[in-house]
Amino acid sequence: MRRTHYPHQDPTVFMTEPTLHYVACDDAQGGHRMAYWQWGDARSARVVICVHGLTRQGRDFDMLAQAIVARAGGNVRVICPDVVGRGRSDWLRDPAFYQVPVYAADMVALIAQLQREQAIDTLDYLGTSMGGLIGFVLAGHKELPLARPIRRFIANDVGPTIEPAAVQRIGAYVGQSGRFASVQAAADAMWALSTTFGPHTPAQWLALSQHMVVPASQRTADGAAKIDAGDDKASESWVLHYDPAIGVALRAITPEAAAQGGAIMWGLYDAIDARTLLLRGAVSDLLSRETALAMTQRGPHAKLVEFDGVGHAPTLVDPAQIAVVTDFLFD
């Protein structure tokens, strides 16, 4: 593991690339590997886990992770998994299992591995959209064998109640895998679907997009990519990083199932003991303001911060958004 800084150097100077690791996870089809990106000091007892949304991957948090490491003076492990079916992780043999309970079980396995490598004293968690739903399970389910209870919990633009219109919008494009002539062409195509993320400079959006695609020639049988998406070649074509089948379970949700799932999530949310921060894009179509306000009045009584001009979901690359997160983690 490469250290983020060295004693003889200015401690404010940190590396800009994470290291890639894997954890073995159980499933009914013989198991799978989940990839995760690690920033900071592998010997640190302080762990912050950042989990992405439905079609995203762990490199979404590059800017945030670097800021957390800097704020901690290097004394932190920031862990950014690629949820199964995304990024460098395996694809599931049965797409019906692309669901929150499986994802949460994988996170339990990840935390157990981190604990074996270095005992955890402090465990914090940030989840964007789907990652937040996974977090409700980890923070609210008291019977899970976590090394430490979650101390600080950040839900990024998600609540126990999900607006049906947003599910329909997302379901319409998930799995519509295209082929692109370049990373820039892929970035342009993804922007057409992602304007709700709010204003981004071209450089910011390209940085977010480069890990969202992999070279088509490097796609393996189980979907994992073998080289970094940043290694662009003019002769190469590019495809989205995730298993197109991740949308199967989403599109199978009935209104009755959605209502039942919402009730379960509210029960988990109400059981959360961690100090909680709720981030919301002020024009989000997935997390209504009504739900957000309810989350400030029940369960952990989340602190609500809204970002103007942003919908679903804040990407946490803007310095003002990053400051809200780091201030909460280090307060």
Q: Is the pLDDT of residue 213 over 80?
A: yes
3-state helix, strand and coil shares in percent for the chain, rounded to the nearest 5: 40, 20, 45
Residue with tokens 């159980």: 26
307 alpha carbon, distance to own chain's centre = 19
In this structure, what token pair is assigned to residue 74?
């290097």
CATH 3.40.50.1820 for domain 19-174+253-330, yes or no, is: yes
Domain ranges of the chain: 19-174+253-330, 176-241
Residue range 6-59, pLDDT digits in tens: 333 344 445 679 999 999 999 988 999 999 999 999 999 999 999 999 999 999
> Distance (Å, rounded) from C-alpha 85 to C-alpha 33?
10
Task: Output phi, psi for 162, to 5 deg.
Answer: -105, 130
Residue range 240-261, pLDDT digits in tens: 999 999 988 888 888 898 899 9
pLDDT at residue 229, rounded to an integer? 43
Q: Counting runs of H as helices and runs of E as strands, what totals does the chain give?
A: 10, 11
> Distance (Å, rounded) from C-alpha 270 to C-alpha 299?
4
Contact 125/79 with Cβ under 8 angstroms? Answer: no
pLDDT at residue 1, rounded to an integer? 34
Closest Cα partner for 40 from 64, 65, 10? 65
DSSP secondary structure letters along 96-132: GG-SHHHHHHHHHHHHHHHHHHS--SEEEEEEETHHH
Residue range 173-190, pLDDT digits in tens: 887 767 899 999 999 999
Alpha-carbon torsion (177, 314, 75, 112), positive or negative: negative
Q: CB within 8 A of 79, min separation 6: which ones?
A: 36, 37, 38, 39, 47, 48, 49, 50, 110, 114
Closest Cα partner for 124 from 71, 60, 86? 71
Residue range 246-304, pLDDT digits in tens: 988 888 888 898 899 999 999 999 999 999 999 999 999 999 999 999 999 999 999 99
> Distance (Å, rounded) from C-alpha 150 to C-alpha 140?
9
